Structure 1
Amino acid sequence: MRPVIRQLDESAINRIAAGEVVERPASAVKELVENALDAGARRVDIAYAQGGKALVRVADDGFGMTQQDLPLALTRHATSKIDGSDLLNIHTFGFRGEALPSLGAVGRLTITSRVQGEDAASLAISGGRLGEVRPAALTRGTVVELRDLFFATPARLKFLRSDRAEAMAIADVIKRLAMAEPEVSFTLRDVTGGGEGRLVFRADAETGDMFDALRRRLARVIGPDFSENALPIQAERDGIRLTGYAALPTWSRGAAVAQFLFVNGRPVLDRLLFSALRAAYVDVLSRDRHPGAALFLDCDPQLVDVNVHPAKSEVRFRDPTVARGLIVTALRHALAEAGHRASTTVAEATLAAMRPQNIEPPPTPARVYQMDRPSSQTLARSAAYQAPIGFSEQPTGRIEPVLPVSGDHPLGAARAHLHENYIIAQTSDGIVIVDAHAAHERLVYERLKTQAQGTVPSQALLIPDIVELPADEASRLMELAPELARLGLVIEPFGGGAVAVRETPAVLGQINAAKLLHDIVDEIADQGTATLLNTRIDAILSRMACHGSVRTGRQMRADEMNALLRDMEATPMSGQCNHGRPTYVELKLSDIERLFGRT
């Protein structure tokens, strides 16, 4: 039979809309809290039961609604936030007017609200059936209570996850909104067992200027270790302003769980912006590590379209290259300005590794009488037979002198070289342990990048190295031959898949050309053909730097070690190697004394 076109009833339309807007309880919480923020709330209290499936309650101290507003608020596409004349000039979280009627179509929704100077009123809607406006008791603001989510569409309940998983999703939504509004107080409670329930999250309103308030809010939401190891970001380009905090590369995660992006205060999950964040850290983090950041892009609403997805989690910029370039440039500049600074969490992990697992109370010290104490003359004679403090004895029998510690040098003065790789340096208030290979790798890389802006000096090989490669890899490599020549690596085809290496970058010294070429081919294949050439060049330079850095197992002299420390202090991003690993660990004297119970 020929299908007949028919108009769906209002109830079916609302249930369909709910499928787009309300995916899970966390979606309902997001919509209700955003409504509270749009209403000027300065305090928002959220409660849920059974992961939000049985109850979601959001109370705020905003402007409220009148008795006449309540029925209209539960009508589709009715909103106070826009007039419909310009869908690009949006200054609020919500604007579609779909959330409340959609929630009322699939659950049992009750709204109680009061406008200052008027009586409070309440209105309920259950499965799309609207009740009557009734008098209510409320001091100010609005309370929205949603019970039995998806009772009208039971099939949707089968797609929800466990109560714990849904509760974690709700907490994640609240934390993101709390970051976007540091001047607003938030509380989140689990009232599954009834009563006041369990406090899951609390963030009191922050005061002070924008950066101070945001830093304290991020410390509360992400953790104090993030704020201690994050760099302030502030930049502007072509009408788009970027602010926020980005973590040092040594403060990274195994997944992208500490990345938060906002556009005009709206939390977004935009692939363009996340790829820009990743690109900014491309030469300071390995591919299995992810940076942490909370970044806020603000611009004229005309420059960004937020009407892309019903959940409003995606946006579309009029000129996406400006937004992406702003993030990459601003973050790379901030990381370069940070210099040698390293993450405090590295030192904390080091101290934790040093602490014994089973701490036993120290034995009671025996009483020592004055007659049993050695005299100062005895101590002096004993010290004369001990090796002086400083570097280990060299093959010639000469003892390296101890250099003074200067407060102008954050990484201090070298004191020893252990296991032919680790430099021990003394600072004015602690010690520094440096991974010489990793540190020199970063120094060589930054030097190569600077030289690559012109032409990197090369050294000709007396006998060219012939490297055999698969034909397709040799072809890809030869496509970049002009750029590699600018970087000091001159190669030529040598028939079949063979490639002849005639010159290598002078800064690398003597290297294994065959291994270098194989690594470069792997890097090209990993970066892909669509990657920007500059990104691919940086990746190749990183590979070159690894081949040209100080090798583990080589004994360094005192002057070499101190020169390396001074270069680290003057080189951008020297706190981590090209793969994101820390190049040094700093331990404060107070921390060391606590390890030995001297405090």
Structure 2
Amino acid sequence: MAIHQLSETLINQIAAGEVVERPASVVKELVENAVDAGATRIEIATSGGGKTLIRVTDNGSGMAPDDLALAVRRHCTSKITDDLLDIRTLGFRGEALPSIGSVARLKITSRTADADMGHEIVVEGGRHCEARPAAANRGTIVEMRDLFFATPARLKFMKSERAEASAITEIVRRMALAFPHVRFLLSGTDRTTLDFPATGEDRLARIAQILGKDFTENAIALDAWREGVELTGHAGVPTFNRGNALHQYAFVNGRPVQDRLLASALRGAYAETVPRGRHPVAVLSIALDPALVDVNVHPAKSDVRFRDPGLVRGLIVGAIREALAMEGDRASTVAARSMAASFSMGARSTNGHSGAYGYRPTTAAASYDVAHSPYRPLASAPPQGFSAGEQAPFDAFSMPSARPSAPVTASPNAADHRLGAARAQVHANYIVSQTADGLVIVDQHAAHERLVFEAFRKTLLAGDQPLASQGLLIPEIVDLPEEDCDRLIQHADELAKLGLGIERFGPGAIAIRETPAMLGEIDAVALVRDLADEMAEWDDASGLAARLDHVAATMACYGSVRSGRVLRPEEMNALLRQMEATPGSGQCNHGRPTYIELKLADIERLFGRS
């Protein structure tokens, strides 16, 4: 087979496969060019998730007609000469514009400060014409339409418009964090407008625009240096953590990167302080000699390779741990507010009523009243064997799952039930139950979490009747990034089936109107934030439908009996009876055992009696 030279168009399309993966890749390349051109204001407009239109307008230095003609040719750049080890700009490969032009319709309009008029050049599917005069302000406008029209097979790999628009938003957020002196404006028919005004040298103000005020209130400043490598930025206190790693941002010499080494260093820094499954929030900026880092690992330039990775990792881990140690044992303000709300809810639940003179406390001698128990999340129909006028046994753990067919007595006979009769609660977390031939130790939180989850799952499988919900007297308002709000509202109907009623409350906010009745009084704001984090990690418009079990597990965890809650004998026995009637109740949603059984023979063996 003879060897032949590929055409320039085909070469560009091959290169585009690495440079232009999706619309967000186009935005990244064009915004980087605008920053390199010295722009202080960058406007990004999109349509159709960026597949139909991407327009980036900047007030940078602009390009002359001759430069325009070269800009759409491969490996033409103004940013480096012959030294690939001294890269001080975001772009340098000279591949972005010709790659975009080879798979889309591209128009570039530009004017320099000293020019009387602007010029424009058009590229369609790799074919371009000469630059021609055009009206333009100082700076550059790059307009891309119909992405992948020249390679339609690539369109099959695109995600939904909402997912692509969300990816573009994330790119702009990262660029805004890297360059606080630049104003970024993101708008379009497929999104609400986002405006990040320039904050100059006040990086914390820009961080607040992106990550919210909560982070700035719970952030520790970082400033460390070791052997020519400087680390600055902010890291959140361990108690301020999120459900995914999407709130971790890293920059190397001003370049936004997503590097495994840096992510690993963050995990190592918080290894003993952040719970498993949770992720710290941080914005890290690393500055070092360009010769000590290779940014040419991949055409997308999001991966880097350090000459001394151990030095960089050690600097990050050591600096964060030292900063945390100097800060002391500090709880997040978010956790403090949640705790205050929990105490408030507990007071309302246990006091029965309040009057003009405040709450009337209950006394230890007060008689037990099922209807006003703080641990009875759902008022449901009486169990089988009881009429509406009779006082049913305690039903704190009742759910739409199977119930015991026989009435539950306050002190059941140990021989009558597989998990026996509750005899004590140890350390306000473990129920000790006596069975006919031994004893059972139950983790009350893990057990109830499983029961609530099974109730949710049964409702999902039935698919006809939604779970009962309880309306909030005053809706809870949750401030979230716009893309998180969009994801939640997109799946509002599915969440409503689980008893969680939400709606939009203006830009960047969600109103919680209803919560699942079986969960009782919960931290609804924290629940919605966790659900938003999980949906963001799935990054798929159909993600919730395939992961409703996971959503149900998250909600079940929030509604379960917490460790440290003192239970009455009636409540403990009700939990045991519900466990006996629920399949799979031997393990919690995370796979841990919910109870341990010791036979009498085992106990006697421990004391040497057998």
Q: TM-score, normalised by structure 1?
A: 0.58
Residue deviations 1:418-438 (CA, integer Å, cap 9, x gap): x9889xxxxxxxxxxxxxxxx
Q: Is 1:46 paired with 2:44?
A: yes
**In the alignment, what sits opposite 1:348?**
337
Residue deviations 1:42-94 (CA, integer Å, cap 9, x gap): 000000000000000000000000111111000100000001x1101000000
Give the partner amino acid of 2:112: V
**What does residue range 151-162 of structure 1 map to in structure 2 within 5 Å?**
151-162=149-160
**What does residue range 183-262 of structure 1 map to in structure 2 within 5 Å?**
183-192=181-190, 199-207=192-200, 210=201, 213-262=202-251
**What does residue range 44-193 of structure 1 map to in structure 2 within 5 Å?**
44-83=42-81, 85-118=82-115, 119-192=117-190
Equivalent-residue separation in structure 2 for 1:268 and 1:303 (angstroms): 16
Identical amino acids, percent of aligned pairs: 55
Offset at residue 191 of structure 1 (A):
2.6
Residue deviations 1:454-511 (CA, integer Å, cap 9, x gap): xxxxxxxxxxxxxxxxxxxxxxxxxxxxxxxxxxxxxxxxxxxxxxxxxxxxxxxxxx
Residue deviations 1:106-143 (CA, integer Å, cap 9, x gap): 00000000001202111110001102212111121000
In structure 2, the CA distance between the partners of 1:4 and 1:253, relative to structure 1 (3 Å rule), is same
**In the alignment, what sits opposite 1:22?**
20
User: What secondary structure sits across from 1:68 in the alignment?
Assistant: helix
Q: Is 1:280 paired with 2:269?
A: yes
In structure 2, the CA distance between the partners of 1:277 and 1:123, relative to structure 1 (3 Å rule), is same
Equivalent-residue separation in structure 2 for 1:420 and 1:129 (angstroms): 75
User: What secondary structure sits across from 1:75 in the alignment?
Assistant: coil
Offset at residue 342 of structure 1 (A):
1.1
In structure 2, the CA distance between the partners of 1:353 and 1:552, relative to structure 1 (3 Å rule), is closer
Equivalent-residue separation in structure 2 for 1:30 and 1:273 (angstroms): 21
Residue deviations 1:300-326 (CA, integer Å, cap 9, x gap): 101111111110011111111110000
In structure 2, the CA distance between the partners of 1:421 and 1:184, relative to structure 1 (3 Å rule), is farther
Equivalent-residue separation in structure 2 for 1:322 and 1:269 (angstroms): 18
User: What secondary structure sits across from 1:80 in the alignment?
Assistant: coil
Equivalent-residue separation in structure 2 for 1:30 and 1:176 (angstroms): 10
User: What secondary structure sits across from 2:102 in the alignment?
Assistant: helix
**In the alignment, what sits opposite 2:432?**
none
Equivalent-residue separation in structure 2 for 1:303 and 1:296 (angstroms): 15
User: What secondary structure sits across from 2:175 in the alignment?
Assistant: helix
Equivalent-residue separation in structure 1 for 2:27 and 2:272 (angstroms): 39
Give the partner amino acid of 2:300: A
In structure 2, the CA distance between the partners of 1:166 and 1:355, relative to structure 1 (3 Å rule), is farther
Equivalent-residue separation in structure 2 for 1:355 and 1:8 (angstroms): 72
Equivalent-residue separation in structure 2 for 1:199 and 1:112 (angstroms): 26
**In the alignment, what sits opposite 1:264?**
253
**In the alignment, what sits opposite 1:503?**
none
Offset at residue 352 of structure 1 (A):
3.9
**In the alignment, what sits opposite 1:299?**
288
Gap runs ≥5 in structure 1: 193-197, 367-372, 374-385, 387-418, 423-550, 555-599
**In the alignment, what sits opposite 2:410?**
none
Tell me the C-alpha RMSD between the 2 structures.
Answer: 2.7
Residue deviations 1:372-420 (CA, integer Å, cap 9, x gap): x9xxxxxxxxxxxx9xxxxxxxxxxxxxxxxxxxxxxxxxxxxxxxx98
Equivalent-residue separation in structure 1 for 2:428 and 2:179 (angstroms): 48
Select the residue among 20, 34, 37 that pairs with 2:35: 37
Residue deviations 1:564-584 (CA, integer Å, cap 9, x gap): xxxxxxxxxxxxxxxxxxxxx
Give the partner amino acid of 2:122: A
Moved more, 132-141 or 6-15: 132-141
User: What secondary structure sits across from 2:157 in the alignment?
Assistant: coil
**In the alignment, what sits opposite 2:324?**
335
Equivalent-residue separation in structure 2 for 1:200 and 1:176 (angstroms): 17
**In the alignment, what sits opposite 1:560?**
none
Residue deviations 1:142-165 (CA, integer Å, cap 9, x gap): 000000000000000000000000
Equivalent-residue separation in structure 2 for 1:47 and 1:68 (angstroms): 27
Equivalent-residue separation in structure 2 for 1:19 and 1:420 (angstroms): 60
Whether the 8 Å contact between 1:420 and 1:553 is mirrored in structure 2 is no
Whether the 8 Å contact between 1:54 and 1:148 is mirrored in structure 2 is yes
Whether the 8 Å contact between 1:280 and 1:328 is mirrored in structure 2 is yes
Equivalent-residue separation in structure 2 for 1:350 and 1:185 (angstroms): 38
**In the alignment, what sits opposite 1:459?**
none
Equivalent-residue separation in structure 1 for 2:21 and 2:85 (angstroms): 25
Residue deviations 1:252-274 (CA, integer Å, cap 9, x gap): 11211111111101111111111
User: What secondary structure sits across from 1:89 in the alignment?
Assistant: coil
User: What secondary structure sits across from 1:171 in the alignment?
Assistant: helix
Give the partner amino acid of 2:77: T
Residue deviations 1:525-554 (CA, integer Å, cap 9, x gap): xxxxxxxxxxxxxxxxxxxxxxxxxx9799
Gap runs ≥5 in structure 2: 358-362, 364-425, 430-562, 567-610
Whether the 8 Å contact between 1:187 and 1:199 is mirrored in structure 2 is no
Runs of 4+ in 1 over 3 A off after TM superposition: 351-357, 419-422, 551-554
**In the alignment, what sits opposite 1:314?**
303
Equivalent-residue separation in structure 2 for 1:316 and 1:302 (angstroms): 11
**What does residue range 459-538 of structure 1 map to in structure 2 within 5 Å?**
none
User: What secondary structure sits across from 2:193 in the alignment?
Assistant: strand
Equivalent-residue separation in structure 2 for 1:552 and 1:134 (angstroms): 75
Equivalent-residue separation in structure 1 for 2:95 and 2:305 (angstroms): 21
Give the partner amino acid of 2:313: R
User: What secondary structure sits across from 2:86 in the alignment?
Assistant: coil
Give the partner amino acid of 1:264: N
Offset at residue 287 of structure 1 (A):
2.2
Give the partner amino acid of 1:201: L
Give the partner amino acid of 1:37: V
Q: TM-score, normalised by structure 2?
A: 0.57
Offset at residue 29 of structure 1 (A):
0.2
User: What secondary structure sits across from 1:23 in the alignment?
Assistant: coil
Offset at residue 338 of structure 1 (A):
1.0
| Larger Rg, first or second structure (1 or 2) | 1
User: What secondary structure sits across from 1:346 in the alignment?
Assistant: helix
